[in-house]
Structure 1
Amino acid sequence: MQTKKRHLIKTVLCAVAACGAAAPAMADTYPSKSVRMIIPFPPGGTLDVVGRMLAQQLGEQMGQSFVVENRPGGNGTIGAAAVARSEADGYTLLFNASTFISAPMTMKSVLYDTDRDFTPVASVAKAPMSVSINKDLPISDVKSLVAYAKANPGKMTFAVGSIGSAGHLATELLRRSGNLDFMIVPYRGTAPALQDLIGGRIDGFIDPILGSLSYHQSGMLKVVAVTSEERAGNLPDVATVGETIPGYAFYSWYGLWGPKSLPDDIAARLNGEVGKALEVMGPALKEQGLLSSPGSIEEFRQFQKQEMDRMKKIITEGNIRAE
């Protein structure tokens, strides 16, 4: 009996050792089939453009298709929840914007915990935002924007594409940093907000530069400032908000996540491949006014925590709540 027991223990120990030895090899064979990359917003926006660029480049590097699946709804929470429920094998990933962090803070109930239910994989890019103004208003820069808002307290209107979005937080931060009194008007998406700005039914709008750039170039609206710390490469003559309101800076940013318990070696493999992809994508991102932001998983995790704290402060002070 003792001999059989010793033999059973030895067999189990050998099996455990074999599993341990095999574990580091998982990333060597990954991916062995196509990978699904969920983008929780409709096609056509800046997030979708960058996500598809990344998916194509990763597919070329890793020898398997990275298939983009747009799953919009719930301010990005429906697609994110689908990833949270997926198997942690690296074959379902989430490509999302900073709204991933902020939107759940404004909602009554979300089917996941941003911190607990996901594995940070890689930071991808930062998007400076544009402060766009209706072309008929006597505003050409932040100084004249501040003067106009103070001369018309409570009358000026700024659109936001969705509650808790990066544009919403950037707008609230502008209001508080500049001690301005203007109304924030929520819209269902950036497209109707831009159309109302162009049509003169709204006064201002803050969103990633790519959305407003062509309208600015055609004279349909005026980009009077950018929210980055330095002037944007595709708008070199437009000043930053911080040049007039010191300390102001805000970005929308994009990253890649897997479900919780994603194996460390697969996460590390993906992080390294994203870094390589960004070396190739860098010039194309720059042309669109975006800044690639590669880094380690730990750096991304710490950045996410810092942004979570910062966003929570803006949302709390601004009493931002989804309906």
Structure 2
Amino acid sequence: MKAMPNFGSSRLRRALCAVAAFSALSAALAQDYPSRPVRIVVPSAPGGGFDLVGRVLAQKLGEQTGRAFVVENRPGAGTLVGTQLVARSAPDGYNLVVGGLSNIALNMGLYREPGYDSLADFTSAGLVVSHSYTLIARRDLPLASLAEVIAFARANPGKLNIGTSGPGTGQYIGAAIIAALTGVDIVKVPYKGAQPVYQDLLAGRVDLFYDNTTTTRPYVESGQVKALAVSSRERAPTMPKLPTLIETGVVDLEMETWFGLFAPARTPRAIVERLRAEVDRATRSADVRSRLEMGSGRSLRMASAETESFVRAEVAKWTGLLRKAGIEPE
């Protein structure tokens, strides 16, 4: 009796060969990567946390790989424009975005159609740092504490204003949640980035600003503004006398912004792993840690699976908190 050909075994061998060939190709791609300049999109104007992280990483990754990592500031619609740009870019490892609390987590609860899905359209190439926020006020504001600010705002609806870096940013959401949870009307004034807010804050045209502690610190230490509260659970080591939001007894809110590099979801796994390795190597450097943490931040270094879980948890947490504060998607 003639033996029947084993088509199943043939198909299996072909499949295994294809997998082996693909693995070899992926390894070759990772070994050659990067072979040309890599674009890092910062979804905000120059200045502020996104820009700091993008430029520090671009410089160090360029030194490590011998290829240019070029920062491209693409502000607009909060952080939507720049983030959408990378979500729709070629998934080849040459298009990256600085991702953080604002564009990766908050936007999922702020917008019905943000133009991307953080969990489906991006993969993390590594988280690097987290920072608290500090609520600051213009130097001559005749209110000495957060409790006094809230009491004045309740008695004088719409009389105080707070600068923000635009809808979708951590500055905007922090200000909105504090106002919503305390039931006060403080006018939110949107700007394109943090630098113009500081210009108007120092000139006395803006009353309040809720910004990264790292960015606010030099203004506080020089006496150009006054600090009212820090958003982390623990007090900031650089400002140990400054109470947390929770300690003020005015609002029950703990909030930290975080940053990392993200690539389009279909970027070859081998390239993503190469990027993760380079980012991890960069953040082991004392000079990079010092520049990113600046005395008030904390390093974030997680395995790939842990990073995915963290991002999913942040999206769920902030969507829930936005709804609790009565902030509905636009």
TMscore range, shorter length:
0.7 to 0.9
Secondary structure of 2:98's partner? Answer: strand
How big is each residue's C-alpha offset from its partner over 1:249-274, in whole Å with a ceiling of 9 and x where there is no partner? Answer: 11222121111222222222222221
Aligned match of 2:262: 257
Q: TM-score, normalised by structure 2?
A: 0.83
Residue by residue over 1:141-172, the C-alpha shift from the partner in whole angstroms, topping out at 9 and shown as x without a partner, is 33444444455455443332211210122123
- Correspondence for 1:303 among 300, 310, 315: 310
Distance, in Å, in 2 between the alignment partners of 1:141 and 1:51 is 34
Q: Is the 8 A contact 1:234 1:287 kept in 2?
A: no
**1:71-99, Cα deviation, whole Å (9 max, x unpaired):** 22232222222222222221211113322
Partner residue, 1:285: 292
- Residues 241 and 249, structure 1, Cα contact 8 Å, conserved in 2: yes
Q: Structure 1 counterpart of 2:307, which letter?
A: F
Q: Following the alignment from structure 2 to structure 1, what is the Cα–Cα distance between the partners of residues 253 and 219?
A: 25
CA distance in 2, matches of 1:233, 1:129: 13
Query: Which residue among 180, 185, 193 is the counterpart of 1:182?
Result: 185
Q: Which residue of 1 aligns with 2:57?
A: 54
Instruction: Note the C-alpha offset of 1:130.
Output: 1.2
Mean Cα deviation higher: 135-144 or 56-65: 135-144
Look up the match of 1:84: 87
Q: Which amino acid aligns with 1:264?
A: R
Equivalents in 2 of 1:56, 1:191: separation in Å?
Answer: 22
Structure 1, unpaired ranges of 5+ = none
Aligned equivalent of 1:318: 326
TM-score, normalising length from structure 1?
Answer: 0.85
- Over 3 Å counting, the alpha-carbon distance change for 1:150 and 1:295 in structure 2 is same
Match of 1:157 in 2: 161
Q: Structure 1 residues 247 and 111 mapped into 2: Cα distance closer, same or farther (>3 Å)?
A: closer
RMSD (CA atoms) = 3.0
1:141 match: 145
Identity of aligned residues (%): 31
Distance in 1 separating the partners of 2:19 and 2:191: 54
With over 3 angstroms needed to count, the CA separation of the structure-2 counterparts of 1:241 and 1:110, relative to structure 1, is: closer
Local SS of the residue matching 1:318? coil
CA 1:166–1:320 in 2, change beyond 3 Å: closer, same or farther?
farther
Q: Does 1:36 align with 2:44?
A: no
The residue identity in structure 1 corresponding to 2:130 is K
Whichever residue aligns with residue 174 of structure 1, its letter is I
Q: Which residue, out of 102, 105, 110, partners 1:106?
A: 110
What is the CA-CA distance between 1:13 and the residue it aligns to?
5.2
